[in-house]
Structure 1
Amino acid sequence: MSELRILAVSEGPTADDWRHVHNVIIPADALSADEVRERIGRNRLHVAYRGDTLVGCTTVRPGAVATVIVRVLAQYRRQGIGRQLHAMALAEARALDAERVETIVWASNVDGLRFAAAHGYAEEVDRYLPDGEDVPYITLRRA
């Protein structure tokens, strides 16, 4: 098993890979290349590879209440990748002086909800149902 390689997202292949992971895990909110470029400007985005294989991505939205989102492709879950990505993203949020940390999980992502709970995101602070959607997004605060 090769080591996890985590790269900051910029224009080009890393942005395409970040978009791919996002769109596979959240197909109801698929993003365009332009939307990813906009997110690069306001968030900290990373992609993760095991060897040359894309396995996941992260988003850190800076602020007093930072949002940390970890996504791991289904076939690579339960191998410690999410734990490593979460530790890196959480450290980045703390380095940005976040007073609190939250995450957002699509309610139909049962693995994501379990992962969040296992990593201390226990307090539900919001549910958001986008127009025309049937499944809400849940915002959870880390204790």
Structure 2
Amino acid sequence: MAFRRAPVFHPFFSSAAVESATATEHGWSPRVDVREEAGRFLILADVPGVALDGIEIQMDKNVLSIKGERKAYASEAEGTFTRVERTAGTFTRSFTLPESADAAGITASGRDGVLEIAIPKKAEAAPRRIVINAAG
């Protein structure tokens, strides 16, 4: 049985983009899975506790940015926390899209704390024959 190694890092996952996305000054960054399928790229971002209507997705040139905020838990009850592990604050994730991405067709949806961004691929140009015209 032959084992074919798939490319682990595509230009879409450039290391600079990944490093800048995971190290934030705000203290948290949603974890993402990025998958390439036959006709699209798919970004799945874990955003539990973040209201979907508070997430902003923007395209600028070939860079897709996801911005949002998870608000800190506020309670009227008395007492103090003895442990705080959940983070709150704003986040930004940015991804450089490949040339094959069709930015005009990007869609997003969310469910159960997961944001799904679908980025269709552009149709590949079909080969064509060029006719040579006789001059004169």
Q: How high is the TM-score relative to the length of structure 1? A: 0.29
Which of structures 1 and 2 has the larger relative contact order (alpha carbons within 8 angstroms, sep 6+)?
A: 2
Q: How high is the TM-score relative to the length of structure 2? A: 0.30
Q: Identify, as 1 or 2, the structure richer in helix.
A: 1
Task: State which structure, 1 or 2, has the greater radius of gyration over its C-alpha atoms.
Answer: 2
